[in-house]
């Protein structure tokens, strides 16, 4: 969910559009890998995941907006919490469609509130001492998003929930690694202080963009953590749910490729902005569709 923020004015203007159009435009404008994965969906589920994603963007941008003071951010996020449980005066434009998701799918207000709590952590917290602390943040802003998303995707095997948690942690750790330099400009360091100390690297080294062997070891350590969660997700995905989880698998493929690219390039994150091209993403989408088709044929032949 984390991203580069300064689009609050853009979002405000989009939300004045028809709600369904605004949700679609927010998703399109984000240029997100998550939005790219929606190509695997159609009909009502695609519309509803687009609405949910727009909700995630809106609350994330509230927390990240440099033009809002902390108290204003808390007040707006509190208004969102209230709107999840019932109609209120001057509620956000997307509130009613989000409540409709709650009535349509096995989604509770508490599941959505956890995401709000996660982005609210960005209002006050700018450092994490340990992985245990950071994991709470990652769960709230990524795994919790996954747990809502799979309810919209639809599934039968409850193990999909464990899959969503692991994949969320993998994706968020990849985001954190990719965005170290960008987050530093906003005075945010998500890399746990304990991890920096493990490799005798400190915050001043980070501010000086010191990409020496200690930094490479640190980043490899963080990448190994992400790789473990990617492997956990692959192991936890029930074979019979590969079709329903196709959008999530597209995300897993794209983000794993991004992590691998950074690792093979020795994490030159102070020098370049890592991303996959549209062509590369399209290739991974096609590969996931093919894997899904082949898995269906194997199951049908049993």
Q: Three-state DSSP class for 127?
A: strand
Say which residue, 11 or 250, is predicted with more confidence: 250
Q: Which of 30-34, 256-260, 263-267 has the lowest mean pLDDT?
A: 30-34
- Residue-range domains of the chain with CATH: 1-124 (no CATH), 126-302 (1.10.600.10)
Beta bridge partners of 189: 127
Gap between the Cα atoms of 18 and 90, Å rounded? 16
Phi, psi of 189 (to 5 degrees): -125, 110
Q: Three-state DSSP class for 276?
A: coil
Q: Is the dihedral of CA 247, 251, 256, 257 positive or negative?
A: positive
pLDDT of residue 30: 53
Phi, psi of 246 (to 5 degrees): -55, -45
User: CA distances (Å), 87 to each of 2, 11, 80, 84, 113, in order?
Assistant: 28, 22, 11, 8, 16
pLDDT of residue 295: 63
Structure pTM?
0.89
State the Cα angle at 175 between 282 and 286, rounded to 5°: 15
Judge contact between 222 and 191, C-beta under 8 A.
yes
Of all residues in the chain, the percent with pLDDT exceeding 90 is: 75
| Maximum separation of any 2 CA atoms in the chain, in Å | 60
CB environment 20-49: b (16+ within 10 A), e (fewer):
eebbbbbbeebebbbbbbbebbeeebbbbb
What pLDDT, in 10s, does the model give residues 156-178?
A: 999 999 999 999 999 999 999 99
pLDDT of residue 290: 74
What pLDDT, in 10s, does the model give residues 54-80?
A: 999 999 999 999 999 999 999 999 999
What pLDDT, in 10s, does the model give residues 91-127?
A: 998 999 999 999 999 999 999 999 999 999 999 999 9
Helices 95-104, 70-84: crossing angle, 10 deg rounding: 40
Phi, psi of 127 (to 5 degrees): -140, 150
Q: Whose CA is closest to 124, among 86, 74, 169?
A: 74
* Confidence category of residue 296, pLDDT binned at 50, 70, 90: low
């Amino acid at each position: 969910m984390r991203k580069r923020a300064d689009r609050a004015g853009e979002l405000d203007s989009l939300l004045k559009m028809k709600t369904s159009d605004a949700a679609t435009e927010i998703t399109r404008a984000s240029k997100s890998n998550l939005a790219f994965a929606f190509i695997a969906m159609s009909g009502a589920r695609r519309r509803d995941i687009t609405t949910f994603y727009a909700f995630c963007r809106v609350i994330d941008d509230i927390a990240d907006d440099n033009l809002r003071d902390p108290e204003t951010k808390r007040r707006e996020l509190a208004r969102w919490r209230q709107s999840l449980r019932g109609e209120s005066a001057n509620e956000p434009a997307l509130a009613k469609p989000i409540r409709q998701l709650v009535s349509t799918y096995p989604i509770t207000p508490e599941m959505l509130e956890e995401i709000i709590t996660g982005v609210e952590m960005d209002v006050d917290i700018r450092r994490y001492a340990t992985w245990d602390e950071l994991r709470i943040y990652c769960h709230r802003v990524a795994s919790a998003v996954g747990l809502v998303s799979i309810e919209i995707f639809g599934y039968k095997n409850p193990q999909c929930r464990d899959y969503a948690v692991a994949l969320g942690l993998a994706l968020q750790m990849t985001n954190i690694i990719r965005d170290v330099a960008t987050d530093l400009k906003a005075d945010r360091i998500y890399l746990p202080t304990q991890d920096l100390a493990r490799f005798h690297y400190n915050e001043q080294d980070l501010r000086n963009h010191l990409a020496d062997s200690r930094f490479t070891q640190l980043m490899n350590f963080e990448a190994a953590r992400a790789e473990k969660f990617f492997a956990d997700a692959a192991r936890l995905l029930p074979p019979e749910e590969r079709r329903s989880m196709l959008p999530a698998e597209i995300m897993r493929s794209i983000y794993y490729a991004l992590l691998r690219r950074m690792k093979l390039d020795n994490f030159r994150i102070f020098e370049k902005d890592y991303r996959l091209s549209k062509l590369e993403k399209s290739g991974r989408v096609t590969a996931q569709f093919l894997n899904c088709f082949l898995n269906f044929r194997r199951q049908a032949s049993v």
